[in-house]
Amino acid sequence: MQEWKKNIRQVVPYVPGEQPKEANVIKLNTNENPYPPSPKVKEQCAKICAKTEELRLYPDPTAGMLVEAIAKYKGLDSNQVFVGVGSDDVLAMAFLTFFNSEKPIFFPDITYSFYDVWADLFKIPYDKKPLDENFMIKKDDYYWKNGGVVFPNPNAPTGVLMPLDEIEDIISHNQDVIVIVDEAYVDFGGHSAQQLLSKYENLLVVQTFSKSRSMAGMRIGYAMGSAELIKALNDVKYSFNSYTMNRPSILLGTASVEDDAYFKETVEKIIHTREWFKAEMRKLGFTFPDSQANFLFASHPDVPAKEIFEAARANNIYVRYFDKPRINNYLRITIGTDEEMKKFLKFLTSFLKSQK
Amino acid sequence: MQEWKKNIRQVVPYVPGEQPKEANVIKLNTNENPYPPSPKVKEQCAKICAKTEELRLYPDPTAGMLVEAIAKYKGLDSNQVFVGVGSDDVLAMAFLTFFNSEKPIFFPDITYSFYDVWADLFKIPYDKKPLDENFMIKKDDYYWKNGGVVFPNPNAPTGVLMPLDEIEDIISHNQDVIVIVDEAYVDFGGHSAQQLLSKYENLLVVQTFSKSRSMAGMRIGYAMGSAELIKALNDVKYSFNSYTMNRPSILLGTASVEDDAYFKETVEKIIHTREWFKAEMRKLGFTFPDSQANFLFASHPDVPAKEIFEAARANNIYVRYFDKPRINNYLRITIGTDEEMKKFLKFLTSFLKSQK
């Protein structure tokens, strides 16, 4: 082995969901929103193109316009909002900024697959706390001494929502460390821990434009917290890369926030489709924890999830399958349009029949 | 002090150059290109706006279209190119990926101000090697055992270009570590170390779209190296954030690469302006190392740089001043259009006269 190879950081890279290039695929595998972004985003896009000469200039390193739009929308001060290149960037910066204890950080065993990847990357010790048999977080697992706590709410890939009083219980038992609530899916029926911010200075709430705002392609995420946490995040961000948000992200993100009616309308449509889809899935014999996200985490008593996954794929319908302990008989199915879900249900009906 | 504050990473954040919001400012402080991006970028922008519904989808995590365009343009394989959110993102990832030795990394004392910021952020030991009295890198300083080497060529903020044989000399003395040549400014008259890639698997060459391609606002940087180095960078990138490049970056970046004629034309214009500006500055009594970048690093024997900086600012002309040892009597002046430089020279002429 050449000497220089010894100093290369060894990581097990995260494998993202497939991004098929074929046009005729029904893509229910990466929890994208089936509806386009707000028409205001299109209008703002045209303005950017009319002035491409501005692309020669660095963006505002504070992304001030976007930060202020989010703060105003959320009823916060602008020093309580941090923006990044998707919530993955925000969360990675938060791990790097806040998890510097010798003690392990705690997160669920079944959860967003990036947490252990970031912990490994930054050499943060961690301890995974098993969900119960119904995929619920057991709050008393989080009462022990730790270096920080992070969990999604609703949890991913289960879709299970934790009530706000239980979240507060975890935070109140962890006032010596930073607690991160990752709310990528909260707009689809959850209650945000944002309302606890005034009570807990050590709480960070992370949200994203990738799901409910139909802007996964723009990479915009944000964190809300006390001015002190947000300043610490910004200090690390400025040390890493002062200009993370490009001009289109700042401008198009702001346009999205300013169109609340459209946002609410599309979110409602997805919730409506999800509830109808749940009923149809039950009729087909699927079981699943009750999802409050834009996906369903479903298992069938008779047919292995992996077989359904592969057969769906062969029929140009992509869903997500995780070959991991405890969840390797589940499919994570994104809620698309009614039409897409009908096609998927039609495929399932005929596939299940063929397996009898 | 609350207990949770103890685990927050302490950093001294980088302070970026000012981004004034006033329209009538002559902005010569952040080495932006005075010319707009290629007209092909505007054309591609219109195509993005025609299909904003695609923004609901995640971007290609490999940014394959852009990687292939750069590889083709540079005559490399696509597994030899890594892209990131500006060269700052690429360099930060490279520090995190490649500088994991107990031994200090080496870089010049006068250089890009982010190197020690990243080293501090990632707790990498470092040793700064002083430039000589003419701001030249002394290559034999880099012959000692180290954990890696990084330097810009041309160097910043001096603009001094190191000949390729000296760069090769440094690399050949450092075959046990990764050597990073940061070529943010190389298109303005330098020779890229890219031609050494076939000889040295431990060499990484970093370039950017922010300067010569007039796209600072888009945040696009890239690294070229052996397939092994690029794979290691991608593994870390996927561990950090799979989707760093948003859709507009990938599409507009590709459009820029495909318009080589425009690229060469604007670079030539800037070089022409720079050479004329050097002659004018000499007439005013300024001294400066011979710059091969899109800026001049200049000092006046009679008037302190700080005073010129402040007076220029009061006249709505922004240049860069670093209040640091050895360089606190220098101004870093970006090469703008002929017209902008004429206005700056006019200001200088009258200001210098007023100081006599």
Topology of the domain comprising B25-37+261-354: Aspartate Aminotransferase, domain 1 (3.90.1150)
* B312 vs A5, residue with greater confidence: B312
Of chain B, the percentage scoring pLDDT greater than 90 comes to 92
B111 Cβ neighbours under 8 A, 6+ residues apart: B151, B152, B155, B156
A103 falls in which pLDDT band (50, 70, 90)? very high
A204 falls in which pLDDT band (50, 70, 90)? very high
- In whole angstroms, give the CA distance from residue B222 to residue B204: 10
DSSP track, A156-204 = TTT-PPPPHHHHHHHHHT-TTS-EEEE-TTGGGT---GGGGTTT-TTEE
Contact between A217 and B8 using a beta-carbon 8 Å cutoff? no
pLDDT, average across residues B265-269: 98
B171 contacts on A by Cβ (under 8 Å): none
DSSP track, B70-138 = HHHHHT--GGGEEEESHHHHHHHHHHHHH---SSPEEEESSS-THHHHHHHHTT--EEEEPP-TTS---
Q: What is the pLDDT of residue A2?
A: 87
C-beta of residue A277 within 8 angstroms of C-beta of residue A341: yes
Q: Is the dihedral of CA A262, A263, A266, A269 positive or negative?
A: negative
pLDDT greater than 80 at residue A23: no
- Quick check: do A24-37+261-354 and A39-258 share a fold? no
The CA-to-CA distance between both ends of chain B, in Å, stands at 54
> In a mutagenesis test of the B interface, which of A103, A215, A218 is the best target, namely the one with the most B β-carbons within 10 Å?
A218
Strands across the sheet with B320-321, in order? B295-298, B331-334, B320-321
Chain A, nearest residue to B44 by Cα: A49
pLDDT, average across residues A127-147: 97
User: Two tokens at B46?
Assistant: 């219109």
Q: Is the dihedral of CA B165, B171, B174, B176 positive or negative?
A: negative
- In whole angstroms, give the CA distance from residue A263 to residue B89: 32
Q: What is the pLDDT of residue A20?
A: 77
pLDDT, average across residues B154-170: 97
Of chain A, the percentage scoring pLDDT greater than 90 comes to 92
Domain B39-259 architecture: 3-Layer(aba) Sandwich (3.40)
User: Two tokens at A156?
Assistant: 């991913």
Contact between A8 and B98 using a beta-carbon 8 Å cutoff? yes
- Please give the single-letter amino acid code of residue A58: Y
CA distances from A298 to A185, A288, A329, A333, B80 (A): 17, 5, 8, 8, 41
Contact between B58 and A2 using a beta-carbon 8 Å cutoff? no
DSSP track, B181-215 = EE-TTGGGT---GGGGTTT-TTEEEEEESSSTTS-
Mapping DSSP onto H, E and C, the string for B211-253 reads CCCCCHHHCCEEEEECHHHHHHHHHHHHHHCCCCCCHHHHHHH
User: Two tokens at B181?
Assistant: 């040549």
Contact between A98 and B216 using a beta-carbon 8 Å cutoff? no
Helix (H) or strand (E) holding A32: none
Dump pLDDT digits (tens) for A157-189: 999 999 999 999 999 999 999 999 999 999 999
C-beta of residue A160 within 8 angstroms of C-beta of residue A154: yes
pLDDT greater than 90 at residue A17: no
pLDDT, average across residues B219-240: 96
Contact between B252 and A214 using a beta-carbon 8 Å cutoff? no
Instruction: Give phi and psi for B268, each to the nearest 5.
Output: -60, -40
C-beta of residue A197 within 8 angstroms of C-beta of residue A205: yes
> In chain A, where are the structural domains located?
24-37+261-354, 39-258
Q: How many CB pairs under 8 A join A and B?
A: 277
Q: What is the pLDDT of residue B356?
A: 81
Determine which of A66-70, A314-318, B12-16 has the lowest per-residue pLDDT on average.
B12-16
List helix spans (H) across chain A. 39-50, 64-74, 86-98, 114-121, 164-172, 227-240, 247-257, 260-283, 305-314, 338-354
For B56, the closest of A33, A175, A176 (CB atoms) is: A33
For B218, the closest of A11, A60, A247 (CB atoms) is: A247
Distance of CA B330 to the CA centre of its chain: 19
Q: What is the pLDDT of residue A21?
A: 73
Give the minimum alpha-carbon distance from B301 to chain A in angstroms, rounded to a whole number: 32
pLDDT, average across residues A331-335: 98
Contact between B214 and A56 using a beta-carbon 8 Å cutoff? yes
Q: What is the pLDDT of residue B4?
A: 87
- In whole angstroms, give the CA distance from residue B281 to residue B296: 10
> Based on C-alpha coordinates, what's the Rg of chain B?
21
**Backbone region of residue B326 per phi and psi (left: phi > 0; alpha: psi in -120 to 50; beta: other values):** left
Dump pLDDT digits (tens) for A225-255: 999 999 999 999 999 899 999 999 999 999 9
Q: What is the pLDDT of residue B94?
A: 98
User: Two tokens at A189?
Assistant: 């029926």
B19 contacts on A by Cβ (under 8 Å): 57-61
A232 contacts on B by Cβ (under 8 Å): 8-9
CA distances from A132 to A292, A318, A328 (A): 18, 29, 16
Q: What is the pLDDT of residue A59?
A: 96
Contact between A244 and B218 using a beta-carbon 8 Å cutoff? no
Closest CA to B234 of A87, A17, A11, A95: A11
B286 falls in which pLDDT band (50, 70, 90)? very high
User: Two tokens at B162?
Assistant: 């190191």
Chain B, nearest residue to A179 by Cα: B4
- In whole angstroms, give the CA distance from residue A86 to residue A210: 7
DSSP track, B58-89 = PPPTT-HHHHHHHHHHHT--GGGEEEESHHHH
Closest CA to B282 of B294, B300, B308: B300
Chain B, nearest residue to A2 by Cα: B176
Strands across the sheet with A126-129, in order? A81-84, A221-225, A203-208, A179-182, A149-152, A105-108, A126-129
For B41, the closest of A55, A147, A202 (CB atoms) is: A55
Q: What is the pLDDT of residue B169?
A: 98
pLDDT greater than 90 at residue B332: yes
> Based on C-alpha coordinates, what's the Rg of chain A?
21
Closest CA to B218 of B35, B85, B81, B73: B85
C-beta of residue B137 within 8 angstroms of C-beta of residue B157: no
Instruction: State whether CATH 3.60.10.10 applies to domain A39-258.
Output: no
Residue located via tokens 């101004």:
B331
Contact between A85 and B53 using a beta-carbon 8 Å cutoff? no
A19 contacts on B by Cβ (under 8 Å): 57-61
- Please give the single-letter amino acid code of residue B322: F
pLDDT greater than 80 at residue B294: yes
Topology of the domain comprising A24-37+261-354: Aspartate Aminotransferase, domain 1 (3.90.1150)
- Please give the single-letter amino acid code of residue A295: F
B58 contacts on A by Cβ (under 8 Å): 16-17, 19, 30, 32, 210, 216-217
A95 contacts on B by Cβ (under 8 Å): none
Contact between A243 and B121 using a beta-carbon 8 Å cutoff? no
Look up residue A336 and give its DSSP letter: -
C-beta of residue B331 within 8 angstroms of C-beta of residue B322: no
Give the minimum alpha-carbon distance from B310 to chain A in angstroms, rounded to a whole number: 22
CA distances from B2 to A180, A229, A233, B39, B191 (A): 17, 13, 18, 55, 53
